[in-house]
Structure 1
Amino acid sequence: MKKTFYFLGVMVLSIGNTYPQYQDSQSIKTKNAMNTTIIEDHYTFPLSDLVIREKVEFKNRFGITLVGDLYIPKNLSSQTFPALALSGPFGAVKEQSSGLYAQQMAEQGFIALAFDPSYTGESGGEVRNIASPDINTEDFSAAIDFLGLLAQVDRERIGIIGICGFGGFALNAAIADKRIKAVATTSMYDITRVSAHGYNDQITAEDRAKMLAMLSQKRWEDAEKGNADYGAQPNKDKLTGDEPQFIKDYFDYYKTPRGYHNRSINSNGAWATTSAISLINSPILSHLKDISPTPILLIAGENAHSRYMSEDIYAMANQPKELLIIPGASHVDLYDRLDVIPFEKMASFFKAKLK
């Protein structure tokens, strides 16, 4: 029987039709799959009256300039405050879920930084749309560097939140960077596990060897052309109706006005095909037990196809740890559903742990 392995809603490892490298459009408006006109430089959520949003830049240790949005409570006093760095989902930008989360946490009294990872969104790095376990983990530590230099931030009270694939990178960052005092994840993916083993670990060693052989040949092709090849779009412009429910859920977020953003890879781009090599070959979370004593909070939807990854991490990690399963929720519900995402629980977790 032929196997189909979905990676974040698409066959990201397929080489089929290529998609053009992301170009920052200068036009004011674009059309999405629903033929709805959408303003490109927009946020997928309204700005709260209770916070101030400021565009900021900082560099990671690879010299890549990262661009983020800093959300600051309007009632900020002269005292120092706890801070949070946020990123995700994998392939998304700060104008989507991570910005929404940052704003909500700022309303709860935190200084919160939502940032675009290296090679994506408004952040630097060439070529575009590259994923790297090492660099994407480093991006969180670079955000900690930035926050710890702000006069309003108590650098002994900094935590991080990772959404979807950046949940895995957040945990990985907290293992090594002991400045991170608490970490929470929602709809957590270990991208390296899914890349190497498929959903529910169904990819065999033989399957993996074939993928790596194909990707290795792709490097020759890229070297000959002098530029990267880009695989299929993470989310197609149209669905047949026969897709798994989680694929439909991704489409409903990324390809409709609900969550579309021009700079989002998941809405309007594609990953560099050879990014999969490092994701397959560089597993994160190998030293998960070393995250202790940093407290972790894992949040997943009851009906999420990714739920098992949060449960596996919870089983493997040492205390202190918490696992919260949201009744009836899917993976994508935790991207933007304000009536589903437990922001009050997250706020109480960080207020308790960032003392």
Structure 2
Amino acid sequence: MKSVKIQNADMAWHIAANILFPPEFDEGRTYPAIVSVHPFGSCKEQTSGNVYGKALAEQGFVVIAYDASFQGESGGSPRWVEDPTQRVEDISRVIDYAVTLPYVDADAIGVLGVCGGGGYVLNATLTEKRIKAVVSITGVNIGRLFREGFSNYDPLGALTAMAAQRTREARGGELQVNELLPASPDVARKNGLTELDVFEATDYYKTPRGQQPGGWTRMLFSHAQKTLAWDAFAFAETLLTQPMMVVIGNKPGAFGAFRDGMEVYGRATASKDRRLVVAEGWSHYDLYDKPEPVAIALEQAVPFFRKHLQGEG
């Protein structure tokens, strides 16, 4: 693995990334590459890098797992901004970097994303035609989630509160940084937060199972307005033409990955090779790192990428 700071000519800040190499990597060869995109509130050292990125590199791909702008070790200020438009632009900027690497085949680039990252990679694929294949792992349409559960089903009320808070901050007030999860599973239980996705997210992000220094699970409240008017799947019927694989568990939770996966699979009728993989008996956060559901995902994703990035199968 190699850690890099990506700073393209048009970028005001750097993107921190880890490049994961295949076994017996040879700089004199060219390899298919996969850009791996982390979930909302996560970082490159968690599921996108240390689980899926690591496994794909072991299967012969160069993988670039990176931190979103304003998050993890990447630059950008203020911190902990979750901006879907920027998140999608980050993918293109990482591809801009990838195509300069002599060992990357610029005509064989795929993307994989987990949770919110799974929604972002689908959206990026609509317009970023350097992407030759996309895999969404338990992908979530963050715009839909913000309009619904994350705003307590009151998106206009949330927007009004965000506007007032942004005005306070512009006048010198303190930033409102929201912690997205309880401090621990025990705290979640004590507060009655036992809904499947909320509790399992806490078990992943707030215990040694998945906890990493860059995975803050925080969001700057005042800068989230545009998320409520964003749709990961807009124009999927006409613009998502590349091969697409959607992997979901069939134990649904409040964050809606099962629902979103079924929706985009149904809508992306222009895709050249459209596949739906359902991990029976597994949940959203099981697909982050549990060996059996991750194996189900990889058993399908690896040959899918090989077919569309290497012409195999």
Task: Report the TM-score when normalising by structure 1.
Answer: 0.79
Report whether the alignment pairs 1:273 with 2:221.
yes
1:55 positional shift:
0.2
- Output aligned runs, 1:250-289, within 5 Å: 250-266=201-217, 270-289=218-237
1:193 positional shift:
1.1
Task: Identify the residue that residue 31 of structure 2 maps to in structure 1.
Answer: 81
Report whether the alignment pairs 1:328 with 2:281.
yes
* Alignment partner of 1:340 out of 267, 270, 293: 293
Cα shift readout 1:254-293 (whole Å, capped 9, x = no counterpart): 1111011122122xxx210123201012333212123442
- Output aligned runs, 1:144-293, within 5 Å: 144-198=95-149, 203=153, 207-225=154-172, 228-237=175-184, 238-240=187-189, 242=192, 243-266=194-217, 270-293=218-241
Task: Identify the residue that residue 298 of structure 1 maps to in structure 2.
Answer: 246
More RCO (CA 8 Å, sep 6+): 1
SS at match of 1:76: coil
Distance 1:351 1:326 in 2: 21
Task: Report the TM-score when normalising by structure 2.
Answer: 0.90
Please state which structure has a larger fraction of its residues in helix: 2
Report whether the alignment pairs 1:95 with 2:41.
no
Report whether the alignment pairs 1:120 with 2:71.
yes
Write the letter of the residue equivalent to 2:286. D
1:226 positional shift:
5.4
Task: Quote the RMSD (CA, aligned, Å).
Answer: 1.8
1:59 positional shift:
2.9
SS at match of 1:302: strand
* Alignment partner of 1:312 out of 252, 263, 267: 263
Bigger CA drift: 256-265 or 172-181?
256-265
1:317 positional shift:
0.7
Distance 1:349 1:235 in 2: 37
1:227 positional shift:
5.2
* Alignment partner of 1:129 out of 80, 88, 98: 80
SS at match of 1:95: coil
1:212 positional shift:
1.3
Q: Give 5+ residue unaligned stretches, structure 2.
A: none
Write the letter of the residue equivalent to 1:249. E
Distance 2:232 2:7 in 1: 22
Write the letter of the residue equivalent to 1:191. I
Counterpart contact for 2:166–2:223, Cα < 8 Å: no
Write the letter of the residue equivalent to 2:183. K
After superposition, the Cα gap between the structure-2 partners of 1:227 and 1:125, relative to the gap in structure 1 and judged at 3 Å, is: farther
Bigger CA drift: 224-233 or 286-295?
224-233
Report whether the alignment pairs 1:69 with 2:18.
yes
1:202 positional shift:
8.2
Cα shift readout 1:143-191 (whole Å, capped 9, x = no counterpart): 1111111111110000000100011111111111100000001110010
Distance 1:209 1:92 in 2: 27
Counterpart contact for 1:253–1:332, Cα < 8 Å: yes
Counterpart contact for 2:181–2:201, Cα < 8 Å: no
SS at match of 1:257: coil
Q: Give 5+ residue unaligned stretches, structure 1.
A: 1-52
Counterpart contact for 1:87–1:166, Cα < 8 Å: yes
SS at match of 2:6: strand
